[in-house]
Each structure stands twice: as structure tokens, then as C-alpha cells.
A and B are shown apart, each in its own frame.
Chain A
Amino acid sequence: MDIREFSSLLAVYGGRLDKWPHTHRLPAMRLLERSADALVLLEQARALDADLRAQETATSPDRLRAMEDDILARLELEEEQAPRPELHEPVPPQPQARAKPAARRRGQAALWAGLRPGRAAPGPSGHSGARFVVGSMTGFGLSMVLLAGVGLWIGTHLGHISTYSQQQVLAYYSIDLWLR
């Protein structure tokens, strides 16, 4: 540690080495052993420390005792004045109110309104474009599902249809033969 670093630490921590950071105490003591300038700086710092530690006028014991009593009296007053939790009779649980039919119908109408293309109610801001698109796409999707269902039905029953057609052809041929 050099004299400059020692002076910087004195400026922060004062002249009591026991209040310095641990790592700086021993180097400071070694510097003091060999440097008269460091000793002078230390004495100046300690003089200022003594000024700063000058004791304030203590409060009289009677006044302190009176303040203790005041504090405890205020505690008691606060606890007496603290609101006590009121006891209520238990309220029986109310059955949950069911949604009114009109409200339910309105809700359902709103639900379906969004699904019908071209018939979406305008929103609060008056924009119905997005609702129309969603409704149209939903309708288209449902149509595709319906067509797929019809196709599936035809496919599963195609055998019967073709058999029926073949039977008809045979029936006509038989009739034709009979007529001949």
C-alpha cells in the first residue's frame, strides 16, 4: 500500500483501522510502521473522527421514562380501538341462478349468427367483414362435409345400386325374350 491509497481509504473510512475493509488493514499497519507522512495523515483523520463522534446531549432519564410510558399507553389504546371481527349468522348458500330463457336464446342466436355467411350482425364498431368471412368459411366447410357424407353413402351402397341395375337389365331382357 502506498501513501496515496492510504489517504483515499482514510477519506472514506476515517482513522479507525478496525472499521476498514479486512484486506486493507494489515497493509495499512505496515505502511504506518515505515512512513511518518502516513502517521500525520492518520492523526488528522482521527481528529475529525473525534469531532464527528462528539456526543449529543442525552435526554434526561425522567423524560425517557415518561416517553416509555407514553409508547406503551398508545399501544394499549390502539389495541382497544382496533376493530373486532363482527360475527355474522351464516348465510345459507343461494342456488345458482339459471340463465333466463330469453338470454339463452339470445346467446344461441349470437352463436349461430356468427356461423351463417352473409348474415353476421355487425360488431360494436360496425365491422361485419371478418364475421362474414368466418361464417362463409364455416358454411363451406359444412357443405364439404355433407357432400363427403353423401359420397360415402353412395360408395357403400354402390354395390346394391349396381346389382339393382343389373337386375333391371336382366328383367328387361327376360321380358324382351318373352315378347319375342
Chain B
Amino acid sequence: MGADGGMRPSAFVRAGHGGLVMRDNSGAAPSSPTERAEGIDEALMRLVANGDRQAFRQLIQRHLDRIIILARRIVGPAESEDIAQEVFLKIWRQRQQHGTEVLHFKTWLYRVAVNQCLDWKRRALPGGTEEMPDIEDPGASPFVEVQNLERAELVKGAIAQLSQRQRIAITLYYQEDLQASEVAEIMQCELNAVESLLKRGRQKLRENLEKDAFL
């Protein structure tokens, strides 16, 4: 509602193909691609909160691949697609709650995704905790002969050897290109805790990769 009580026009209009497109006269344009992307997500989420499935499909199209990659990094490739599906189902079920949250949609989405991954790991590993060491994937191990592996596979193997929380922090900060403060919001911990995870994660990765170089 505007200040005069009238309805403000939506930033989006429905195009002939059924999808949503930005209105040309939607007011001040966001200055950066990130801000524009956030604006689109927030506008779509407002429609989703009213039960708009077409808007929800667009949100899925925008973020599904990133969530699959995030889940793959945290729990491995086998369960990543199932977890990504559960994440979006949860987003739909909790769509009314987003309006009461102060988080941006992307931060909220990642938080739901990280928590879903952690829940899956807790169920999959009886009596497991966050600090339980992960099972090393021998196919991506940095200890296999260096000549037979691509650099990316080495890095993947090195990341798999980090603790779960280090892996989540490193993935969110580098892969998803988030700020440290956003990572802290998603992981629901203090900023200095995230800084510690990033520092130790990088140090361990560097040690593992340097060890590789001598093999």
C-alpha cells in the first residue's frame, strides 16, 4: 500500500508466455547486478507467499542448480538432488514466514539448505555430530598419484577432508561468493567463528595441496 492508501503497482507483470517480466516504470533501478538479483528474488517471494506457483517455478529455476552444488559439497553427490528438492518444498511450506524474517531471500534459502544437509547427515550417521570425520572418497583423494588427477579433483578431495563446518564455510564463502557476515547469518553463528573456520580451512587446504605437490 502506498502512503496515500492506494495500491502500488507490482514491479512485475505477467507476460504472454505466463512468466513474469519486470515492469519498465518500476521506479528507481537497483545499481548493481547483485541488487537487481536480490530485488527479483524478493519480488518473486512476495508472489509465492500468496500461493503463486508460476513465481515459485521461476525461483526454482534461478536457484536450483546452486543448491544442488552446495548440497553436493556438503553431503556428496548421491543425495544432493533429493536434498535440493526437499529444500524447495520446505521453502514453499514456510512461504508465509519469509515475510516476517529480516533475512534476504538468498540468505534464508542457503540457511534452509545448510540445515537440510546437516539434518540429512545426522540421520545418515547414527550418533553423529557436526565434527564427525567424513568418509574420504578414494576417487578424489589427494593421495592418489598427482599425474592422474586434474587440479580440480585434487581440490575437491582436499575440501572433502575438512571438518563439516569448515567445508560449509569455505563453500559458502568461495563457491557461493558470499560475504563473511552472510555466511555467519546462514550458519547462525558469530562472525569471529566464521573467520576462524575460514582461516583454519584455508590453512588445512594449503597444507594438503602442498603435500600433494611433493608426491
Q: Which residues from chain B contact A63 at a C-beta distance below 8 Å? A: 81
Is A12 in the interface zone, CB < 8 Å from B? Answer: yes
Q: How far is the CB of B20 from chain A (nearest CB, A)?
A: 15
**Contact A72 B56, beta carbon cutoff 8 Å:** yes
A150 interface residue per 8 A CB criterion: no
Q: How far is the CB of B58 from chain A (nearest CB, A)?
A: 10
How far is it, in angstroms, between the C-alpha of A52 and the C-alpha of B88 when the chains are bound? Answer: 26
Binding site of B, secondary structure by majority: helix, strand, loop or mixed?
helix
Give CA–CA (A64, B69) in the complex, Å.
12
Say whether, besides A19-B180, A54-B155, A56-B175, A11 and B202 are in contact (CB < 8 Å): yes
User: From residue B129, how far is it (CB to closest CB) to chain A in Å?
Assistant: 25
- Chain B nearest CB, measured from A3 CB (Å): 17
Residues A53 and B174 in contact, CB atoms below 8 Å apart: yes
Is B202 in contact with A14, judged by CB distance below 8 angstroms?
A: yes
Which residues of chain B (125-176) have a CB below 8 Å from chain A? 151-152, 155, 159, 170, 173-175
Within 8 A of A (CB), among B150-208: 151-152, 155, 159, 170, 173-175, 177, 179-180, 195, 198-199, 202-203, 205-206
How far does the alpha carbon of A51 sit from the alpha carbon of B209 in the complex, in Å? 10
Q: Which of A48, A58, A68, A70 contacts B61 (CB 8 A)?
A: A68
Distance in angstroms from B2 CB to nearest chain A CB is 33
Q: Which residues of A contact B202 (CB under 8 A)?
A: 11-12, 14, 48
User: Is the beta-carbon distance between A52 and B175 smaller than 8 angstroms?
Assistant: yes
Name which residue of chain A comes closest to B84, CB basis: A67
Task: Report chain B residues within 8 Å CB of A67.
Answer: 64, 81, 84-85
Q: CB of A13 within 8 A of chain B?
A: yes
A56 — which chain B residues lie within 8 A by C-beta?
A: 69, 72-73, 175
Beta-carbon contact of A71 and B199 below 8 Å? no
Asked if A49 is an interface residue, CB under 8 A from chain B, the answer is yes
Q: How large is the interface on B (under 10, 10 to 19, 20 to 34, 35 or more residues)?
A: 35 or more
**Closest-CB distance, A162 to chain B (whole angstroms):** 85
Tell me the residues in window 22-69 of chain A with beta carbons closer than 8 Å to chain B beta carbons: 48-49, 51-54, 56, 58-59, 63-64, 67-68
A145: interface (CB < 8 Å): no
- Kindly supply a per-residue 1/0 record for chain B positions 78-111, scoring 1 wherever the CB is within 8 Å of any chain A CB and 0 otherwise: 0001001100110010000000000000000000
Do the beta carbons of A70 and B85 come within 8 Å of each other? yes
Contacts A11-B199, A19-B180, A56-B73 given: A48-B60 contact, CB under 8 Å? no
How far, in whole Å, are A63 and B81 apart by their CA atoms in the complex? 10
Question: B174 and A71: CB pair below 8 A?
Answer: no
Query: What residues on B are CB-neighbors of A144 within 8 Å?
Result: none
18 contacts between A and B (CB under 8 A): A12-B195, A14-B173, A14-B174, A51-B155, A52-B170, A52-B175, A52-B205, A54-B151, A56-B69, A56-B73, A56-B175, A58-B69, A67-B64, A68-B64, A74-B89, A75-B89, A75-B92, A78-B89
Chain A positions within 8 Å of B, measured between CB atoms, are 11-14, 19, 48-49, 51-54, 56, 58-59, 63-64, 67-68, 70-72, 74-75, 78
The 5 closest A-B pairs by CB, nearest first: A52-B174, A56-B69, A54-B152, A51-B155, A12-B199
Further 18 A-B residue pairs, CB within 8 A, beyond A12-B195, A71-B89, A72-B53: A11-B202, A11-B203, A12-B202, A14-B173, A51-B155, A52-B174, A52-B175, A53-B175, A56-B175, A58-B69, A59-B68, A64-B64, A67-B85, A70-B85, A71-B88, A72-B56, A75-B53, A78-B89
